[in-house]
Chains A and B, each alone.
Chain A
Amino acid sequence: MLKNRIIPCLDVKNGRVVKGINFVDLKDAGDPVEQAKIYSDGGADEICFLDITASNENRETIYDVVEKTSKKCFVPLTVGGGVRSIDDINKLLNCGADKVSINTAAVQNPDVVLESSKKFGSQCIVVAIDAKKNGDKWEIFTHGGRNNTGINAIEFSKKMEFSGAGELLVTSMDRDGTQVGYDIDLMSKISSQINIPVIASGGVGNLDHLVDGIKLGNASAVLAASIFHYGKHSVKEAKEYLDSKGIPVRI
């Protein structure tokens, strides 16, 4: 039976791990390579690096982090943040990333998704969707949540599936950093409209939120950062908790 995945996410800036509260007020909390190794040893199903300020700053540090991590962790490694072009994707994959997540570039130029999934295969193309509720719909934000595009998130998700994305990483901008739980409506709406896996992100504050993301949000995988990172819970604890709630996980 296919298991639901738990994906700890490390926000990386200049080669160091940080976690934003609504993408501002960053705290430095360690070496990404060591953190990733702790997670994979603890049973993380995948590791995600998000280079959060990559759109604005020197990006070379992430390649070094990815290269070192991929030599120590033998679970899938997804890297996102500031991925603009086929060339960026190629470089990250060559450094040892297994998947690359594309956010702003997918919105500005959907052909990047089409071309990259053709060139490298859908299996390594994750489209990251940052969505915020506006009235009764959700709209896509880009540039780390700074720009509202007004694009309907559900429609965009379908378009990305059609363009060849292998998975969607859906983050609720309303919930990110708040620790009040995923936006379940958003996750379940997107998941019911597309046939590729959805990774739920944004807002996890406790282990029940992970359960909700899978049971109510119909996510194939749940991504979280701070509940793992500050030692609040281990990945093992999270898996045992999900297992106790009847959710299939790899233990």
Chain B
Amino acid sequence: MNVTIVDYNSGNISSVINSFKEVAKDNVNITVSSDLGMIKSCDKVVLPGQGSFKSCVSALNNISGLVDVLNDFTVVHKKPILGICVGLQMFADVGYEETETKGLSWIPGKVLKIDNKNGKYKLPHIGWNQINIVKQSSMYNNIENNSHMYFVHSYEFVPEDKKVISATTDYSSKIVCAVEKENIFGTQFHPEKSDKVGLTLIQNFLKI
């Protein structure tokens, strides 16, 4: 099986690469690339994302043809894709970080700043928080409910259809921290930085 981690200059992806290489078994090839042919022909895609919604979307658009290939991969061929952090956020229709920016529109919804309740909650939401798993999914095999995952973000994905939510976390309100819609998977937290439980989630994605 060939898995491509999309390298589109979205910031630091070395931890994502290290974690996937750590759990990948012999029959799984992990490639880091922005090559369109490579992405088209692979079996699974990982879409990381750091920095702002706007900067990630522009970085995707800066690679000619990349968005089309990702659309084809995800929407037409329905192959599994995992978005991490801003990678997940970009699944939305629109984000409001820095300025209003159109997303990939794979899962209807918006990306809004977390309500910090007049400074009661510090932002970014940084650190280990527990996830409340609300959907039966093989992504959470061998992962206990209320496991800790590592978060760092100030914006949250608010999907229109609540049925896509696979996990939430409590910070100011119930924040959507994982989504799943058919072949599209996303985590707001960073499995690559979430110790053994995070590596288990990565393994689950590779097994799907």
Task: Write the residues of chain A forming the contact surface with B, with a CB cutoff of 8 angstroms.
Answer: 1-5, 40, 45, 70-71, 74-77, 93-98, 118-124, 166-167, 195-197, 220-221, 250
CB distance from A8 to the nearest CB of B (A): 14
| Contact call A70/B116, Cβ cutoff below 8 A | no
| Contact call A166/B14, Cβ cutoff below 8 A | no
| Contact call A93/B22, Cβ cutoff below 8 A | no
CB distance from B98 to the nearest CB of A (A): 9
In the complex, residue of chain A having the shortest beta-carbon distance to the beta carbon of B119? A195
CA distance A211 to B148 in the complex (A): 21
Chain A residues, CB < 8 A from B125? 2
Q: Is B52 part of the binding interface, using a Cβ–Cβ cutoff of 8 Å?
A: yes
CA distance A44 to B152 in the complex (A): 17
Supposing A70-B18, A123-B152, A196-B122 touch, asked if A221 and B127 sit within 8 A by C-beta, the answer is yes
- Residue from B119, B151, B152 with most neighbouring chain A CB atoms (10 Å): B152
Chain B residues, CB < 8 A from A119? 51
Chain A residues, CB < 8 A from B194? 74-75
CA distance A120 to B152 in the complex (A): 13
CB distance from B76 to the nearest CB of A (A): 31
Interface residues of B in 174-202 (CB under 8 A from A): 192-196, 198-199
| Contact call B11/A121, Cβ cutoff below 8 A | yes
Give the residue of A74, A75, A96, A121 whose beta carbon is less than 8 angstroms from that of B14. A96
CA distance A215 to B41 in the complex (A): 53
| Contact call A74/B193, Cβ cutoff below 8 A | yes
Give the residue of B11, B123, B130 whose beta carbon is less than 8 angstroms from that of A195. B123
Contacts beyond the supplied A40-B195, A74-B22, A74-B199: 12 A-B pairs with Cβ under 8 Å? A2-B170, A45-B127, A45-B128, A74-B196, A97-B12, A98-B12, A121-B52, A122-B154, A123-B50, A166-B124, A166-B126, A195-B123
Give the residue of A74, A77, A97, A195 whose beta carbon is less than 8 angstroms from that of B195. A74
